[in-house]
Amino acid sequence: MEGKEEDVRLGANKFSERQPLGTSAQTKDYKEAPPAPLFEPGELQSWSFWRAGIAEFMATFLFLYITILTVMGVARSNNKCASVGLQGIAWSFGGMIFALVYCTAGVSGGHINPAVTFGLFLARKLSLTRAIFYIVMQCLGAICGAGVVKGFQPSLYESKNGGANFVSHGYTKGDGLGAEIVGTFILVYTVFSATDAKRNARDSHVPILAPLPIGFAVFLVHLATIPITGTGINPARSLGAAIIYNRDHAWDGHWIFWVGPFVGAALAALYHQVVIRAIPFKSGN
């Protein structure tokens, strides 16, 4: 009998009761990174700064190239069953974000989206200098990516709207703006949650898996909002396609694809920093 009691005691010590997240489970040592300065002049003299911008340019270039090419492939098919369809377009966007965030996270943070950069800037995760540089490089990469797709098949590109974002018939601009705000909120909130340093300190697997929920969020948002706006949630993606396509209806309401994502990103940053991060990391006794 005593032997059984000893086994039970050892087993209880070996397999401790799992604590709920957000309470006493958060007991690992954790040190909050200091807020990024608004201006950091030394960045401009650092190769890592320029390398990060190049990585953002290349990632956004590849993102637009693959995704717009997928959109064109679906548009040219007379039989939707013979193409990847709407689901395939959504997987293209989500899958590319998953792959590109994984590839570039260690170099630039893997933003690939001015709205993500803006949200992280508001949370003081990067300087204003770096944020502006990233957004410029993302937009240039998007323009080049869409341009290469048009170079491959100019007539198809022109006849099938060039993958440009605009509010679909039957929806108002208010509908489109709301869809962009909510869709970007979901994306940026996922980015904050997946890359939260507190979770990294507690769960060692979080940094490895971070690109997966981010890409999956992009996929799900596209499934929901492609019928409404073609899904922007990324001002660089919308700008690149609009510039290369360059038709009036691509520019009519283009502001929606800047205002919506930036408002959604700001709300996600506010929610994460004020509500989610307000939970104490260590519980007092």
For residue 209, count CB atoms less than 10 angstroms from its CB and return exposed for 0-12, middle for 13-18, buried for 19 or more. Answer: exposed
pLDDT, tens digit only, all 285 positions of the chain? 555 555 444 444 444 434 333 333 344 555 667 888 888 878 888 999 999 999 999 999 999 999 999 999 898 877 766 678 889 999 999 999 999 999 999 999 999 999 999 999 999 999 999 999 999 999 999 999 999 999 998 998 988 899 999 999 999 999 999 999 999 999 999 999 998 877 665 555 555 688 999 999 999 999 999 999 999 999 999 999 999 999 998 999 999 999 999 999 999 999 998 988 764 544 444
Greatest pairwise CA separation for the chain in angstroms: 85
Q: Are 112 and 139 in contact (CB under 8 A)?
A: no
| Contact yes or no for 154/131 (Cβ under 8 A) | no
* pLDDT given for residue 268 in this prediction: 97
What residue ranges do the domains of the chain occupy?
43-276
Q: What is the 3-state secondary structure (H, E, C) of the chain?
A: CHHHHHHHHHHHHHCCCCCCCCCCCCCCCCCCCCCCCCCCHHHHHCHHHHHHHHHHHHHHHHHHHHHHHHHHHHHHCCCHHHCCHHHHHHHHHHHHHHHHHHHHCCCCCCCCCHHHHHHHHHCCCCCHHHHHHHHHHHHHHHHHHHHHHHHHCHHHHHHCHHHCCCCCCCCCHHHHHHHHHHHHHHHHHHHHHHCCHHHHHHCCCHHHHCHHHHHHHHHHHHHHHHHHHCCCCCHHHHHHHHHHHCCHHHHCCCCHHHHHHHHHHHHHHHHHHHHHCCCCCCCCC
Rg (alpha carbons) of the chain, rounded to whole number: 22
**pTM for this predicted structure:** 0.84
- CATH 3.40.50.720 is the classification of domain 43-276: no
Cα of 253 vs its chain's centroid, Å = 22
- Read off the tokens for 217: 């969020």
